[in-house]
Copies of this chain bind each other. A is one copy, B any other.
Amino acid sequence: MRLIGGMNFLSDTTAPAHPAILDALTHANQGFASSYGADPVSAGVKTQLCEIFETDLEVVFTVSGTASNALALSVLCPPDAMVLCHDEAHIHRDERGAPEFFTRGAKLLPLAGSHAKIAPEALSDALKQWPSDFVHATPPAVLSLSQLNESGCAYTLDELESLIGLAKARDLNIHMDGARFSNALVSLGCTPAEMTWKAGVDILSLGATKNGAMASEAVILFPSARDRLPQLLANQKRAGLMLPKMRYVSAQMAAWLKDDLWLDLARTANAAAKRLSEGLSAVDGAELVHPTHGNEVFIRLEDALAARLREAGAGFYSWPDGSARFVASWCTTDADISALLDAAG
């Protein structure tokens, strides 16, 4: 175990929880409370979310981003239909087929596009190739977008409008994988509503775990999807994800959302990534491969440089595309970045 202050850029999931999260658990640990999400703490978070998203939404809490995505898709995509997503989407690449499991056999169709953003022509072409009403073909039912996406990029509101417009013209449901939603939000500088339901998103997987919580995620049903709540609850139970003492999951999110903590933490992480991205890409032998919109930096490093960084104690992953991935988190400090840049020298 490494202390805060090291050059650990492996993943925001290796970071500890913010102290406010722990305080919230202590606070929630008072006496008896109804089980399975029927407690006042959970109800309070729903109220917070309705205010933050400026609409009358429903929410179900989970404990992993994979669970959130899979549950969301389970109520948006029939077993004999199809989810369209980017070829590098987390739901396609990194969830061991959780969407296929929860939808009971739906297909994920991988689409192309640079910087892990679905190209509109790729979406448009797929929709042409896959009809909705031909009994032999698996019909498209959902468009899933990651915000931040798997290359650390945020779709602009215009890009969302374009893609979602194409999808809605074919009556697809829209899912947003927001494991790093807060990082994208502060990057775009828009409102939560603008980045979701106002853009046509039906269900959002909202993640707090990567940005300061222990294990707290939410599946948010916007008004267009509110009637799917009973099925979502049944699927949550059936998946072993309806925790008996749910208050400890929702309490984390309550603290995370309170007084804009979530946004502050995201700004801290994004700023650290920005400094890392700019500093490191200025070094000889380093080349940025994707724009740095949030808290992730993808950069191609010459072998000598990569070795130098690792020897200095920096932790980062070699990415399948040949780049190195550095992830900043809420607890990344200026000193961490400075140490890395010094080592890159």
Number of copies: 4
Chain B residue with minimal CB distance to A240?
B67
Partner of A35, one of B1, B5, B13, B96: B13
What string of 1s and 0s marks CB contacts (under 8 Å) between A1-27 and chain B? 111111010110111110000100110
Q: Which residues of chain A from 84 to 110 have a CB within 8 Å of any chain B CB? A: 93-98, 100-102, 104-110
Which of A208-216, A255-263, A270-278, A302-310 is the contact stretch?
A: A208-216
Chain B residue with minimal CB distance to A131?
B320
Shortest distance from the beta carbon of A34 to any chain B beta carbon, whole Å: 6
Q: Does A115 contact B (CB under 8 A)?
A: no
The dominant DSSP class at the A interface is loop
Shortest distance from the beta carbon of A39 to any chain B beta carbon, whole Å: 7
What string of 1s and 0s marks CB contacts (under 8 Å) between A215-249 and chain B? 10000000000000000011101111111110011
Report the separation of the CA atoms of residues A105 and B101 in the bound assembly, to the nearest whole angstrom: 6
| B17 and A237 form a contact (CB under 8 A) | no
Report the separation of the CA atoms of residues A93 and B71 in the bound assembly, to the nearest whole angstrom: 22
Partner of A31, one of B6, B101, B209, B239: B6
Q: Does A295 contact B (CB under 8 A)?
A: no
Q: Does A137 contact B (CB under 8 A)?
A: yes
Partner of A17, one of B13, B29, B239, B242: B29
- Chain B residues contacting A129 (CB-CB under 8 Å) are 320
- Chain B residues contacting A5 (CB-CB under 8 Å) are 31-32
Which of A3, A94, A95, A235 is the most central at the interface, judged by chain B CB atoms within 10 Å of its CB?
A95
| B238 and A80 form a contact (CB under 8 A) | yes
A68 touching B30 in the complex, CB below 8 Å, given contacts A17-B245, A96-B234, A234-B135:
no
Shortest distance from the beta carbon of A243 to any chain B beta carbon, whole Å: 5
What string of 1s and 0s marks CB contacts (under 8 Å) between A131-166 and chain B? 000011110000000000000000000000000000
Report the separation of the CA atoms of residues A234 and B277 in the bound assembly, to the nearest whole angstrom: 34
| A2 and B135 form a contact (CB under 8 A) | no
| B2 and A14 form a contact (CB under 8 A) | no
Which of A26, A238, A245 is the most central at the interface, judged by chain B CB atoms within 10 Å of its CB?
A238
| A241 and B243 form a contact (CB under 8 A) | no
| B237 and A96 form a contact (CB under 8 A) | yes
| A96 and B80 form a contact (CB under 8 A) | yes
| B215 and A249 form a contact (CB under 8 A) | yes
| B29 and A16 form a contact (CB under 8 A) | yes
What 5 A-B pairs come out closest when comparing CB atoms? A67-B240, A4-B31, A13-B244, A3-B31, A66-B240
What 4 additional pairs, Cβ within 8 angstroms, besides A22-B25, A97-B105? A5-B32, A64-B244, A70-B240, A105-B105
Taking Cβ atoms with an 8 Å cutoff, the residues of A that contact B are 1-6, 8, 10-11, 13-17, 22, 25-26, 29-36, 39-40, 62-71, 79-80, 93-98, 100-102, 104-110, 129, 135-138, 209-210, 214-215, 233-235, 237-245, 248-249, 315, 320
